[in-house]
């Protein structure tokens, strides 16, 4: 059964088993637990907001013992009816991949694993801007895996090195808005990566450190609508100036795990900014 979509389609996973059970990035501390009911409330509000903007939200069943399964962005890189599955760097998340694999195959996708020796954390580290795949490497994903992926797809890839552990996935410091527009947090990249982004993308919005720490770059784009965590007023003003409509919703319980709006979603029909080969 081939996949086809009549509207923006987003995969989410209810946070029934979400929690801070291990520490694999600097935002996570087992001593700072998430609040169960607040977590459900914030997740539900994000889902409702995305649906109100026209998205069809599909659900991955939550699994006990996999608290980060809620971050569906990491499940894989979607390209047409193919999903290049994640190969997680940390053991704590490796149990997610068989769950993801099962879901995608049951929903008409073909799944492909990256060669075993390499790590790759899905759309968390690989984002199309136009026909080019921007790929974050070093902290969670290997550049060689991303080169391999681009070969499979037949697209250009620009691997950019991530240098700050707080911005350990590309989607925490870079967000394509359209084929020539993106949000980014310059200090998260080395000089070469920063220059490469600046050379290839003409319409860039740079976020300030305080808003980057509120996960300003971890935004969900649906048409001209952009959904972010609360506490990013400068970004919202910059978006308005460029003709976008920003929306915010509180996601503090997920920031405790180092994730926000974008991490909690995976676009199944292709990101707004993607021009697929």
Which helix (DSSP H) or strand (DSSP E) does residue 48 occupy?
helix 36-52
Q: Could you say whether residue 111 binds ligand ARG (CB under 6 A)?
A: no
Residues 88-107 that bind ligand ARG (CB under 6 A): 93
Neighbouring residues of 206: CB distance < 8 A, sequence distance ≥ 6: 184, 185, 186
Is the CB of residue 168 less than 8 Å from the CB of residue 140?
yes
- Of these, 259, 261, 266, 273, which contacts ligand ARG (CB under 6 A)? 259
Neighbouring residues of 64: CB distance < 8 A, sequence distance ≥ 6: 17
Q: Could you say whether residue 82 binds ligand ARG (CB under 6 A)?
A: no
Q: Could you say whether residue 258 binds ligand ARG (CB under 6 A)?
A: yes
Q: Could you say whether residue 24 binds ligand ARG (CB under 6 A)?
A: yes
Pair of tokens at residue 66: 């996999």
- Burial environment of residue 128 by CB neighbours within 10 A (0 to 12, 13 to 18, 19 or more): buried
Phi, psi (deg, nearest 5) at residue 97:
-60, -45
Of 67-75, 110-118, 184-192, 227-235, the segment contacting ligand ARG by CB under 6 A is 67-75
Is the CB of residue 249 less than 8 Å from the CB of residue 262?
no
Cβ proximity to ligand ARG: between 226 and 263 the closer is 263
Cβ proximity to ligand ARG: between 62 and 245 the closer is 62
Of 22-30, 76-84, 156-164, 236-244, the segment contacting ligand ARG by CB under 6 A is 22-30
Q: Which one is catalytic: 13, 129, 155, 169? A: 169
Q: Which residues contact ligand ARG (rule: CB under 6 A)?
A: 24-25, 28, 68, 71, 73-74, 93, 124, 169, 171-172, 257-259, 263
List residues with catalytic annotation: 169, 263
């Amino acid at each position: 059964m081939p996949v086809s979509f009549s509207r923006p389609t987003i995969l989410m996973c209810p946070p029934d088993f979400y929690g801070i059970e291990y520490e694999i990035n600097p935002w996570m501390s087992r001593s700072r637990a998430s609040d169960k009911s607040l977590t459900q409330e914030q997740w539900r509000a994000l889902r409702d907001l995305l649906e109100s903007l026209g998205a069809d939200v599909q659900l991955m069943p939550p699994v006990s013992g996999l608290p980060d399964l809620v971050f569906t962005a990491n499940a894989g890189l979607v390209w047409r009816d193919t999903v290049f599955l994640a190969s997680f760097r940390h053991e704590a998340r490796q149990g997610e991949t068989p769950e993801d694999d099962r879901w995608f195959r049951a929903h008409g996708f073909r799944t492909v694993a990256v060669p075993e020796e390499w790590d790759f954390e899905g759309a968390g580290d690989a984002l199309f801007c136009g026909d080019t795949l921007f790929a974050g490497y070093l902290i969670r994903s290997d550049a060689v895996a991303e080169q391999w992926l681009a070969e499979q797809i037949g697209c250009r890839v620009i691997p950019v090195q991530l240098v700050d552990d707080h911005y350990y996935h590309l989607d925490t410091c870079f967000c394509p808005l359209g084929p020539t527009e993106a949000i980014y947090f310059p200090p998260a990249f080395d000089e070469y990566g920063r220059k490469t982004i600046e050379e290839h993308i003409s319409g860039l919005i740079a976020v300030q450190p305080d808003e980057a720490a509120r996960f300003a770059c971890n935004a969900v784009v649906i048409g001209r609508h952009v959904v972010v965590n609360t506490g990013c007023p400068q970004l919202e003003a910059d978006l308005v100036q460029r003709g976008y409509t920003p929306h915010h919703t509180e996601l503090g319980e997920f920031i405790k795990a180092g994730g926000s709006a974008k991490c909690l979603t995976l676009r199944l029909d292709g990101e707004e900014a993607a021009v697929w080969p």
